[in-house]
Structure 1
């Protein structure tokens, strides 16, 4: 099993959508018997409408594996056919329950080459970039059993902020002429609801050259971003409380680390500052790093050993510190 060929399993089936997760395993700790490993859920970004599980940073996965963690990278249904709460958030909450209910353990036990791996269910943690950061944060509230800690890398939050209705001219400049509403709305005809979008806002695409505007999904998503309508397109406007991390922080919220680029033009850093303030006000163990000179999509572009790499890596160090203090029965 390698970074190029993870173990892929179905964790949920709903309305003809078979939703998969990729599983990466660290080097085994022992040669004899089972050993229990922390589990990190790594959730991809893509404005809730794009991307898939293979569009995450392989260097970050490798860092987690070197720490001795099992890495679980899920797909989820993509908006706008489903809204943020009923699609991406619910799918990843169901993945968390799938892990806690022992299904990941059963998958590992059922294969000869993975049978020595078992999950430390007291040390399940979550990490996500961009929209994946928002989804990771949702695993800390309105769930029967939250994750032990969360690392949010420039995730959208505070959906009452005027930024979420502001047009983004630098994105609009990349849209080709002639995109019609009739064309981009073909996205609503996709069945079943897809779990793969052909481009990630981290700069990764199915083929080189960036977004493919002949694909209605990619054209739809980039148009919503340019027009300041991402959240409006993906969730009803009358009550965004259930999807807004800032409105769901309480003293019981899991320890949380935030990293955000100081020059982010896609998700204003102000929403992460608001989230950090809410965490501190509620006495939640937390920290935040503002990465100098970085825009929104730096996770897939940073070089190992660079200043940005070392700064964002502190989020994983935070997760490691938290679970090292966790008393586990495993």
Structure 2
């Protein structure tokens, strides 16, 4: 079982993170692992445990945060702000303070501590966007980023395109008045019972949040709902911020059969990273849809391919210069 710590409180919302510790002792790299869910769904419990176990076998500390969910807060003022504050909380030594209390040896020494020169960030889907957002408008970026099928390039026509295969799942009884109850939730929630991360139980459309989120996805209005016009999308779009020159080494993993976030968006980000001299890599996984990370079988061909992203992180923090 992971440890749990509060890293922030804002307007009545307590934000926590699950902390997974490796079995080894000493100063260890830290991986921030951010869940997906279209910025509106999900929680720290909805991440891949096999991936976490793989990271622990590499002797990494894994930090899985909750963040406030849209739409009662927008993407920048809610999820991005929370994840940036978590990063600052780690860099300011608060995670080490927490671990000092939790993992003190019989001689008073700290059994596990953070190597603050080796803090990395990883996220799936919207969590990948949030991981990438740690690369700009922050005092200190992570050492490396791993992004699985993240939404980027918010000026692309896809972000206003309906998705008929999602609309087909919606009941015909949903009303705008019912769905808008999500704006009345107080304090703003930081975790939901449903995500898009391959959960076995589907959405419950008797819940306003599930109904609101899946309707926005079906209508092609996720970004408009979570970051309403006339807000400046360049403030949240990793693609247009690469040229700022602050991006650390970045790796992308994307399923070739993704119908929720087209792989062409990740290909565009990869090309932009290369054009701007960012050390980067990309793996496209044949036949895989969105959120495959939660459904893949450990040891499968998909499992081996996606591990290239984690191998890239390991290469970066070890100081290697080879490309994968």
Write the distance in 2 (CA, Å) between the matches of 1:141 and 1:60: 26
Q: CA deviation at 1:113?
A: 5.4
Contact 1:150/1:256 (8 A) holds in 2: yes
Within the candidate set 3, 7, 11, 1:7 is matched to: 3
Question: Which residue does the alignment assign to 1:247?
Answer: 240
Q: CA deviation at 1:236?
A: 2.5
Contact 2:147/2:253 (8 A) holds in 1: yes
Write the distance in 2 (CA, Å) between the matches of 1:79 and 1:91: 12
> What SS does the aligned partner of 2:115 have?
strand
Contact 1:260/1:290 (8 A) holds in 2: yes
Q: CA deviation at 1:237?
A: 2.8
**CA RMSD in angstroms, aligned pairs only:** 1.1
Write the distance in 2 (CA, Å) between the matches of 1:203 and 1:227: 21
How does the TM-score come out when normalised to structure 2? 0.95
Specify whether residues 112 and 299 from structure 1 end up closer, same or farther in structure 2 by C-alpha distance, changes over 3 A only.
closer
After superposition, what is the alpha-carbon deviation per residue over 1:250-299, rounded to whole angstroms, capped at 9, x for unaligned?
A: 34310000011111100111111111111001000001111111111201
Task: Flag structure 2 segments of 5+ consecutive residues without an equivalent.
Answer: none
Matches within 5 A, 1:1-330: 5-29=1-25, 35-112=26-103, 115-204=110-199, 209-238=201-230, 239-250=232-243, 251-325=245-319
- Greater Cα shift, 230-239 or 182-191: 230-239
Write the distance in 2 (CA, Å) between the matches of 1:159 and 1:281: 19
**Count of matched residue pairs:** 314
Contact 1:252/1:284 (8 A) holds in 2: no
How does the TM-score come out when normalised to structure 1? 0.93
Write the distance in 2 (CA, Å) between the matches of 1:321 and 1:27: 21
Task: Flag structure 1 segments of 5+ consecutive residues without an equivalent.
Answer: 30-34
After superposition, what is the alpha-carbon deviation per residue over 1:154-205, rounded to whole angstroms, capped at 9, x for unaligned?
A: 000000000000000000000012000011111111000000111110122x
